[in-house]
Structure 1
């Protein structure tokens, strides 16, 4: 029984799903890491100048709000300390109706100086319109911290350096991302391409299953309840073994 005021993360997930899926697929703190992905290299435009933007002043309260997030990213190896001539500022953004903060990095200068890639993120309305009319059963999967699953090549990591001042000790340092950062213009496209290539390796025993991808969201559709269930189990296990993690809170099966 779940204590009053606490949400059971398994409440919306059928027990038969939990019993059939490898536990590591469910997100539990540390983000996953794609196992068969080559670290992403970021190419600067010809004549690009080093980006050296000073950090904006951040109130002590906001720095205290960011500290748990920074510490967890350091613990998980998503951030590393460095000394770099490059720097872009960060912004603390308080979540609505919460005391928690999100870490937002101002990467506009980096975005302007890196070579573009053609965006291949599909139009969601076009995707939904492609669902066969006989599909009546669906599973929607949300990949947790999906961009953090993709490593950045060591030669490209310092591009994403930013400054940080501890709210407790006042120590100032620089940190850089070892994984694809949010706010980088190419992150959704790069991740989407990586995941699409991974999904080509998924072998579904039923050829009548619909699988749609929109960046880090996946939809399975079928005309048959049991076929949708079997495909869901198969895909969850495939993703877990490939190094991805699924959010229990955002997973929903809709009939």
Structure 2
């Protein structure tokens, strides 16, 4: 990540949800953050499943750093992220009878960043100031960088047995036996790369699945 200069911003007022900030920092502090001084503010966004349920007693929040001023000083990183049309056309060409959907557990936080880049990710909270030691969402180059990582990990399988958009992966196969082999191969690639899969959103060997808000059907 290349920058012209360093920019500092004051934090937003988060009086009513300070306990959420405290809990989030506690969860990340040991492995993902280190204390420092200066720069970007954070915002809390109500998660979509919670926002749609007004009767829920406990809301869940997504923590996002407001890196807009930092991003304005950051050079572009040119790497192509596949679009939905490209993915659906590739799915049709594979003509799968078996589908498995998997994703990574806290995908972006599994990718380390250099010390040089880390010093630009400083953010302030109502408690202390920190910088990220892992790739945070919201950086201008984060999506392209993470897609490059995934394509390297799943090398040679692109549009053949899997469709990949960031940390979401669709495994597609013509036969059950081939599907088991494809799953094993992809699991091994993730294991060799030191990446952990999420269990909550894994959907194994199904007839249809929603991928990027689009329904994909097998051909049985």
TM-score range, shorter chain: 0.7 to 0.9
The one-character-per-residue Cα deviations of 1:70-94 (angstroms, maximum 9, x if unpaired) are: 111102x2111013xx401111223
The one-character-per-residue Cα deviations of 1:191-239 (angstroms, maximum 9, x if unpaired) are: 110121122278xxxxx96222111111111110121022112311331
Partner of 1:56: 12
The CA distance in 2 between the partners of 1:133 and 1:211, in whole Å, is 9
Structure 1: 4+ residue segments shifted above 6 A: none
Residue 88 (structure 1) aligned with residue 40 (structure 2): yes
The CA distance in 2 between the partners of 1:146 and 1:247, in whole Å, is 9
SS of the residue 1:116 aligns to: coil
The CA distance in 1 between the partners of 2:183 and 2:160, in whole Å, is 10
The CA distance in 2 between the partners of 1:51 and 1:89, in whole Å, is 11
Q: Please tell me whether the aligned partners of residues 209 and 220 of structure 1 are also in contact (alpha carbons under 8 angstroms).
A: no
The one-character-per-residue Cα deviations of 1:50-109 (angstroms, maximum 9, x if unpaired) are: 2111111211x311012111111102x2111013xx401111223324433221111101
Q: Please tell me whether the aligned partners of residues 222 and 228 of structure 1 are also in contact (alpha carbons under 8 angstroms).
A: yes
Q: CA deviation at 1:142?
A: 1.0
Q: Cα distance 1:93–1:223, how it changes in 2: closer, same or farther (>3 A)?
A: same
Q: Whose radius of gyration is greater, 1 or 2?
A: 1
Q: Please tell me whether the aligned partners of residues 87 and 163 of structure 1 are also in contact (alpha carbons under 8 angstroms).
A: yes
Unaligned runs of 5+ in 1: 1-41, 167-172, 203-207
Instruction: Find the partner of 1:120 among 80, 84, 99.
Output: 80
Map 1:1-255; keep pairs closer than 5 Å. Answer: 42-44=1-3, 48-59=4-15, 61-75=16-30, 77-83=31-37, 86-95=38-47, 96=50, 97=56, 98-131=58-91, 132=93, 134-166=95-127, 173-200=128-155, 210-253=161-204, 254-255=206-207
Give me the TM-score of the superposition, normalised by structure 1.
0.71
Q: CA deviation at 1:161?
A: 0.6
Unaligned runs of 5+ in 2: 51-55, 208-220
The one-character-per-residue Cα deviations of 1:157-187 (angstroms, maximum 9, x if unpaired) are: 1211111233xxxxxx210001111111211
The CA distance in 2 between the partners of 1:134 and 1:57, in whole Å, is 52
With a CA cutoff of 8 Å and minimum separation of 6, indicate the structure with the bigger relative contact order.
1
Give me the TM-score of the superposition, normalised by structure 2.
0.82
Q: CA deviation at 1:133?
A: 5.3
Higher strand share: 2
Count of aligned residue pairs for this structure pair: 196
The CA distance in 1 between the partners of 2:137 and 2:82, in whole Å, is 19
The CA distance in 2 between the partners of 1:70 and 1:141, in whole Å, is 27
The one-character-per-residue Cα deviations of 1:135-159 (angstroms, maximum 9, x if unpaired) are: 2111111112111111111112121
